[in-house]
Amino acid sequence: MGITSHDVARLAGVSQPTVSRALRDDPRVSQATREKVRRAAQALNYVPSEAGRTLSTRSTRRVGVIVTDLTNPFYPHVIAPLHDELRALGYRMMLITERSDEAVAEERLLDQSLDGVVLATATTDSRLPAQLERRGMPFVFLNRDTGGPGDYASVVDNEGGGRLVARRLVDLGHRRIAGIFGAANTTTGRDRELGFRLALAEAGVGLAEDRVVRGAFEYETGYRALPVLLGAAEAPTAVFCGNDVVAIGVLNAALAAGIRVPEDLTVIGFDDLPMAAWEVFRLTTVGHDLRELSRQAARLLVRRIGGEVDSAGERLVLPTEFVPRATHARVS
């Protein structure tokens, strides 16, 4: 069924190795033979077998991307540019969406079918990075990392972003402030909360524990958290959400509960997804360059695969900016 380099060799009247060399532009093959081989390959519609090449070169030109939940609107916006950048660098992307089963993920990662891995949904307590390290599989963190010093990671200045929001809320006169943060075992959850808390503390504003919720970076988290926060003795006047998806959950819950945004409640997100700009939300949020985040991760991984990388780890941090829209207001 498949055309092999032997078939091409036969047609071109040369040996199989010469076909391989000719098509790979090896300088040791003459111009005449090169073109003869090219024509034969063309005529047969020859495409080199990936498995043969892989076995011979021990490199697959394939990279795995691990994501837990693709239906979370955040990930497509990181996967799409990642795919494109990897492609430009000569690699293919293998999407792996595992919800939990680390053992399975591990096995699939270690069968030599990938040159490297992008971890997009790492948690600080995950054992996977150590496993990969031990087996010598190059990998980088994208968006989230473990916070360790030896990480190779492309991340956002989460702490700085949290600070931005805290200062803005204080400036707007908010004092009864709430937070719906991401899971504590993610650096995105942890560091955004950290920066937010630190900047609040610097301004002398407290964050009452009954105004703090933590949960997965999902719509449901925000949707369910708002009623809880509103049920407290004194309702908050502002809520900082771990990311845009959570904030959008809050906005929907507010609509359901008859809470006016921003008159009754200021809502702030994080990430500035395209969706945040939709007319129905006009979400005030913290922005950063998602495309560049992904591109950096791709380039870092490829450099690590090539071995051209600082052995002490390398963390690329993108800046954040406050993106004011229509869900924040001065406290009345």
Q: Which stretch binds DNA (CB under 7 A): 24-32, 163-171, 219-227, 282-290?
A: 24-32
Nearer to DNA, 17 or 274 (CB): 17
The option from DNA, a copy of itself, none interacting with 5 (CB < 5 to 8 A, set by class) reads: DNA
- The answer to the question of residue 2 lying near a copy of itself (CB under 8 A) is yes
- The answer to the question of residue 110 lying near a copy of itself (CB under 8 A) is yes
Least Å from the CB of residue 14 to DNA: 4
3-class state of residue 215 by DSSP:
strand
User: By the 8 A CB rule, do 221 and 248 touch?
Assistant: no
Secondary structure E strands in the chain = 62-67, 92-97, 116-119, 139-143, 152-156, 177-182, 212-215, 238-241, 266-268, 285-287, 314-318, 321-323
The option from a copy of itself, DNA, none interacting with 24 (CB < 5 to 8 A, set by class) reads: DNA
- The answer to the question of residue 274 lying near a copy of itself (CB under 8 A) is yes
Q: Which of left, alpha, beta for 62 (phi over 0: left; psi -120 to 50: alpha)?
A: beta
Least Å from the CB of residue 53 to a copy of itself: 8
**Residue 40 phi, psi dihedral angles, 5° rounding:** -60, -45
In order of 70, 87, 118, 207, 324, the CA distances from 273 in angstroms are 15, 23, 21, 27, 14
Give buried/exposed letters for 175-205 (b at 16+ CB in 10 A, else e).
Answer: ebbbbbbbbeebbbbbbbbbbbbebbeeeeb
SS (H, E, C) 83-135: HHHHHHCCCEEEEEECCCCHHHHHHHHCCCCCCEEEECCCCCCCCHHHHHHHC
Least Å from the CB of residue 162 to a copy of itself: 26
Q: Which two tokens stand for residue 191?
A: 């560091």
- The answer to the question of residue 76 lying near a copy of itself (CB under 8 A) is yes
- The answer to the question of residue 103 lying near a copy of itself (CB under 8 A) is no
The option from a copy of itself, DNA, none interacting with 17 (CB < 5 to 8 A, set by class) reads: DNA
* Single residue of 6, 13, 88, 95 touching a copy of itself by CB under 8 A: 95
- The answer to the question of residue 93 lying near a copy of itself (CB under 8 A) is yes
Chain positions 30 to 59 lying near DNA, rule: CB under 7 A, are 30, 32-33, 46, 48-49, 51-53, 55-58
Nearer to a copy of itself, 23 or 212 (CB): 23
Burial of 54 (0-12, 13-18, 19+ CB in 10 A): middle
- Residues in the interface with a copy of itself (CB under 8 A) total 50
Chain positions 154 to 173 lying near a copy of itself, rule: CB under 8 A, are none
The option from a copy of itself, DNA, none interacting with 77 (CB < 5 to 8 A, set by class) reads: a copy of itself
N-terminal to C-terminal alpha carbon distance within the chain: 75
- Dist. CA 34–CA 200, nearest whole Å: 69
Nearer to DNA, 59 or 70 (CB): 59
User: By the 8 A CB rule, do 226 and 213 touch?
Assistant: no
Chain centroid offset of residue 275 CA? 17
Q: Which stretch binds a copy of itself (CB under 8 A): 9-17, 87-95, 300-308, 315-323?
A: 87-95
Question: What is the contact surface with DNA in residues (CB under 7 A)?
Answer: 2, 4-6, 13-18, 20-21, 23-24, 27-30, 32-33, 46, 48-49, 51-53, 55-58, 112
Question: What is the contact surface with a copy of itself in residues (CB under 8 A)?
Answer: 1-2, 45, 47-52, 54-55, 58, 60, 69-71, 73, 75-77, 79-80, 83-84, 92-97, 107-108, 110-113, 135-136, 219, 248, 251-253, 255-256, 274, 278-281
